[in-house]
């Protein structure tokens, strides 16, 4: 599989990731196990059903560093991963955006290597109709909060 087809993953970073993980992905049962091993999954501290904070974990894993560096380059990318990075960076900050996009890259890498399927950028793209419907529901909810009722205009 050509893993370098994924935005952000270049030859050097793929070589570094492969040197750590290898090509046999059967060590990890699911992509979630893989991202947890890379320390790219969230670790909430929960006690009594209540969220108490987040557990910080540090790693010297070279594959994790390669995924994070690949995610860091997404701020200038115009593809779906770049849009995801920009959206998250505005809402949550660049550190969390880097970790989230690195996790997404790791899942894509895992599936490509394990299932030997090519990279399909269209799966990551957002559907414009769904986006429009989502924005409309948010606007209607905001308007009803202030006592207004929105009606669609027929053009």
- Per-position DSSP letters for 103-126, written without gaps between them: HHHHHHHHHHHHH-----GGGTSP
- What was the pLDDT predicted at 56? 75
> Mean pLDDT over residues 128-151, rounded?
89
**Residue-level pLDDT at 138:** 92
Mean pLDDT of 119-126: 78
pLDDT of 152 > 80? The answer is: no
Distances (CA, A) of 19 to 9, 14, 45: 14, 8, 32
Are 34 and 28 contacting, i.e. CB atoms less than 8 angstroms apart?
A: yes
Residue that wins the pLDDT comparison between 36 and 44: 36
Q: Hey, what's the torsion of the CAs at 98, 52, 55, 88, to 10 degrees? A: 0
Domain limits, the chain: 3-125
The residue length of the chain stands at 155
């Amino acid at each position: 599989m050509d893993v370098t087809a994924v935005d952000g993953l270049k030859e050097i970073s793929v070589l570094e990731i492969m040197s750590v993980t290898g090509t046999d992905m059967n060590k990890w049962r699911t992509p979630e196990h893989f991202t947890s091993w890379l320390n790219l999954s969230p670790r909430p501290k929960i006690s009594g059903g209540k969220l108490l904070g987040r557990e910080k974990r540090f790693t010297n894993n070279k594959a994790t560093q390669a995924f994070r560096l690949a995610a860091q380059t997404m701020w200038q990318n115009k593809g779906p991963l770049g849009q995801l990075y920009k959206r998250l960076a505005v809402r949550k900050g660049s550190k969390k955006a880097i970790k989230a996009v690195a996790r997404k890259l790791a899942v894509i890498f895992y599936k490509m290597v394990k299932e030997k399927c090519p990279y399909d950028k269209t799966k990551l793209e957002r559907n414009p109709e769904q986006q429009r419907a989502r924005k409309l529901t948010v606007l209607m909810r905001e308007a009803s909060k202030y006592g207004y009722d929105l009606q669609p205009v027929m053009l």
